[in-house]
Amino acid sequence: MDQQTDFDLPVVLSIAGLDPSGGAGTLADVRTILAFGCYPAAVITAITFQNAAGVSGVVAHDSDTLRGQLTPVLSELRVAAVKTGMMPTGEIVREVARTVSHYQLRCLVVDPVMTSTSGYELMDAAAVTELREKLLPLAFLVTPNIPEAERLAGFSVQDEEGMRRAAASIRRLGVRAVLIKGGHLETGSEAVDVLDHDGDITVFRGVRVQNWEFRGTGCALAAGIAACLALGNPLEDSVRRARDYVSEAILAAPKIRGRGILFKPGR
């Protein structure tokens, strides 16, 4: 392996899909990583055809293309944290797991992106299986929303107690910590997220933003957590800081075709 370069800024690697409109995926990750004062690197798993109206198509990369991007990045940069997003196929998930293991990458934050905000399926069944069996045992944190948590845990989640049960079930797959995002639950004006870190539970509560649908919130949250971990913050504090960033970005977000795009210049 070539000599790695040391940066003054911690390097956070995003492995995710490309949304050319900038609302989600790697571009949302890069904006967030920069906002937290880290150096972003990005590897593309797939190219999506989308804008604020929704996703109309996806072209997934194969393992050779993914490896071709990852190898030069990891031979040059000393990566402090990794955030994964859209991984559409089992082949892609296996290659990411192989890379994480081979390079002994730490602080792996997995955002298990399964369906777009507009309802387009972004992860096939083989990818979900590989995620459960190969990647989550290597991860520090996974950040599913309610539908993703239900798919990973194998049962319905209807309330906060169900979120706790699902987090414990997912953690038994081998991941150190699980943050279940409760935005899909009917909780009135309150937004509730549940963190299970080695069995210790922290519940985060905030005000739910009404009347707008936002793209990229899950991307920004997971990327923000990864950046905070790269900066040396403990997990609970990293989650809190990332949640605050997303809340602030929502309030400042430009509105395009009835949907908000997270964008918060400066910090």
According to DSSP, the β-strands at 213-215 and 200-207 are: unpaired
- Tell me the CATH number at 216: 3.40.1190.20
pLDDT bin (cut points 50, 70, 90) of residue 184 is: low
The verdict on residue 49 lying in a domain is yes
| pLDDT tens-digit map of 204-236 | 998 776 555 677 889 999 999 999 999 999 999
| pLDDT tens-digit map of 109-155 | 999 999 877 777 889 999 999 999 999 999 999 999 999 999 999 99
The verdict on residue 6 lying in a domain is no
The verdict on residue 151 lying in a domain is yes
Structurally, the chain folds into a number of domains equal to 1
Predicted local confidence at residue 53, as pLDDT? 73
pLDDT bin (cut points 50, 70, 90) of residue 248 is: confident
CA-CA distance, 61 to 89, in Å (whole number)?
9
CA-CA distance, 96 to 242, in Å (whole number)?
24
The verdict on residue 207 lying in a domain is yes
Predicted local confidence at residue 253, as pLDDT? 67
Q: Which domain holds residue 234?
A: 11-261
State both tokens at 22: 């900038």
Say which range, 17-26, 71-80, 96-105, 210-219, has the weakest mean pLDDT.
210-219
The verdict on residue 3 lying in a domain is no
Residue 72 scores a pLDDT above 60: yes
The verdict on residue 232 lying in a domain is yes
The verdict on residue 82 lying in a domain is yes
Residue 168 scores a pLDDT above 60: yes
pLDDT > 90 fraction of the chain, expressed in percent and rounded: 70
Q: What kind and span of H or E run contains 219?
A: helix 217-230
Place of tokens 């997912």: 170
Residue 267 scores a pLDDT above 60: no
For 201, the 3-state DSSP assignment is strand
The verdict on residue 176 lying in a domain is yes
Residue 191 scores a pLDDT above 70: yes
Q: Where is pLDDT greater, at 209 or 174?
A: 174
Residue 1 scores a pLDDT above 50: no
Residue 102 scores a pLDDT above 90: yes
The model's pTM is 0.91
Q: What is the pLDDT averaged over residues 32-37?
A: 96
Residue 259 scores a pLDDT above 60: no
DSSP summary character for residue 134: I
CA-CA distance, 246 to 98, in Å (whole number)?
31
